[in-house]
Amino acid sequence: QKEVEQDPGPLSVPEGAIVSLNCTYSNSAFQYFMWYRQYSRKGPELLMYTYSSGNKEDGRFTAQVDKSSKYISLFIRDSQPSDSATYLCAMSGDSNYQLIWGAGTKLIIKP
């Protein structure tokens, strides 16, 4: 079993819909949780990060961490075609900086 599980998709939704992207993990030592967005033929770029449990909001994006369930989510409100990309979750513990990555979910927003 992988340390971080993420459904590769693709996930296809109409423009304007609320999108929910998720990752589950097995290592309870993970404290830092990040979401990266990767456009086709580009490198990943950091979208959001959270520490421990709770929610964090940034514009149309909300990151949520539930450590009791070992489950993290990224919500995108009012989704736009420009949000079409692969979204990767990544996480790490407090003892080192090696990020453990999910496989990435390919998101397609249909106009």
Partner 1 sequence: DAGVIQSPRHEVTEMGQEVTLRCKPISGHDYLFWYRQTMMRGLELLIYFNNNVPIDDSGMPEDRFSAKMPNASFSTLKIQPSEPRDSAVYFCASGYRDRGSLLGARRGYLKAFFGQGTRLTVV
- Side-chain-facing half-sphere of 77: CA atoms under 13 Å: 7
Among 9, 17, 24, 101, binds partner 1 (CB under 8 A): 101
Which residue type does 19 have? V
What is the rounded distance in angstroms from the CA atom of residue 3 to the CA atom of residue 8?
Answer: 15
Q: How many CB atoms lie within 10 A of CB 4?
A: 21
Binding to partner 1 in span 17-56, by CB under 8 A: 31-32, 34, 41-46, 49, 51-52
Q: Which residue, 4 or 79, is less far from partner 1 as judged by CB?
A: 4
- Mask 81-100, x = binds partner 1 (CB under 8 A)? -------x---x-x-xxxx-
What is the rounded distance in angstroms from the CA atom of residue 80 to the CA atom of residue 109?
Answer: 6
Query: Does residue 62 touch partner 1 according to CB under 8 A?
Result: no
Binding site for partner 1 (CB under 8 A): 31-32, 34, 41-46, 49, 51-52, 88, 92, 94, 96-99, 101-104
